Amino acid sequence: MHNAFKKAVILGKIPKNPCTGVEIKGEKNEKEIQFIESEHISHFLKEAYQYGYIYWIFFRVLIETGIQKGEVAALQWTDIDLKNKPININKSLDFQAAAKDPKEIFIGTKTPSSMRVITISQSLANNLHFHKKYQNQNKLSLKENYHHDLNLVLCRNDGNYMPKTSPFNAFSRIPKSVGFLPLRHTHAVLLLEAGADLKYIQQERLGHGSIQITSDIYSHISKKIEENTINKFEDYMKNVLE
């Protein structure tokens, strides 16, 4: 609000900023960010595989890319270059519209900044190579009954889009020891633990419009990050004090 009114003052729309000097009273109620600890991810994916291979690859892509569920569901093979390993995030899948009219399943990304190109690991590229071969077998088997026109990466065996409830139902059946936790947050924390720059996470991976959003969400959330930071600081201070 303060920034909006500040802009209005600059444009000469209002004489002064009514938000200047305003204080927000009361306790700040911040929700604790939930994510899957890195040591539990392998177990989570094994549990997901029990409910179907497609759920395993679906969750694997979510964890390794951090893109929205609608963006994952809308991925087409033309969006992925498995040789050079970029993924073009340029649309989302409108589950409600798709239920009414299968021809109107694609919509734009959540915000303009959500349109981005991210690079995937060689490991995930290998998984997607296998997935493409698996999908080609379905195409040969079903022939004209396969939804070739959609060209979806993550879909049902007949090539049709995956209903929103399908991965959620599989997710909810995974033991509570793993929990129903946001995979987008998990991806961001993994990047931070790996030493990725916050600006890179904001712009290149998550597509947040502002680094402040990313900073507010992911500051001080992983014990591993804190431990690594302290260890690096101690090593640095040893050299300083020698």
What is the tens place of the pLDDT at every residue in 93-149? 888 877 777 677 888 877 776 788 888 889 999 999 999 999 999 999 999 999 999
Q: What residue ranges do the domains of the chain occupy?
A: 39-181
Provide the whole-model pTM. Answer: 0.65
Task: Flag residues of the chain having pLDDT under 70.
Answer: 24-34, 102, 113, 168, 170-182, 184, 197-230, 233, 236-237, 241-242
Res 153: pLDDT: 96
SS3 category, 89: strand
CATH superfamily ID and name for 39-181? Intergrase catalytic core (1.10.443.10)
Q: Are β-strands 106-107 and 92-93 bridged in parallel, bridged antiparallel, or unpaired?
A: antiparallel
Res 116: pLDDT: 85
Residue 26 is classified by DSSP as S
How large is the C-alpha radius of gyration of the chain?
Answer: 22
How many other CB atoms are there within 10 angstroms of residue 178's CB atom? Answer: 18
For a pLDDT cut of 70, what percent of the chain falls above it? 71
